[in-house]
Amino acid sequence: MIDARGFTCPMPVAMVQKEVKKNAPAELVVLVDDRCAVENVTRFGTSMGYQVSVEQEGEDFRLTLKK
């Protein structure tokens, strides 16, 4: 799990990109609190072949990337 709450773009995407390149996880959960980060992480995940689902949890968003 990557907790990118409190970070603005491009940091959440960079954090996800680093994890994907390092470990190539089949599933990755990312927590963000910025709508722009939701869009950018979703775009990146899709470009890397992941199915991305988004759930809003109060002020935060949980993105689940699955291969």
pLDDT range class, residue 25, cuts 50, 70, 90: very high
Average pLDDT score over residue span 34-57: 97
- Give the whole-angstrom CA distance, residue 22 versus residue 20: 6
pLDDT more than 70, % of the chain: 100
pTM reported for the whole predicted model = 0.95
Residue 52: per-residue pLDDT:
98
Amino acid at 57: E
Q: Residue 30 pairs with which residues in a beta bridge? A: 2, 63
pLDDT range class, residue 65, cuts 50, 70, 90: very high
Residue 7: per-residue pLDDT:
96
- Residue 20: how many other CB atoms lie within 10 Å: 17
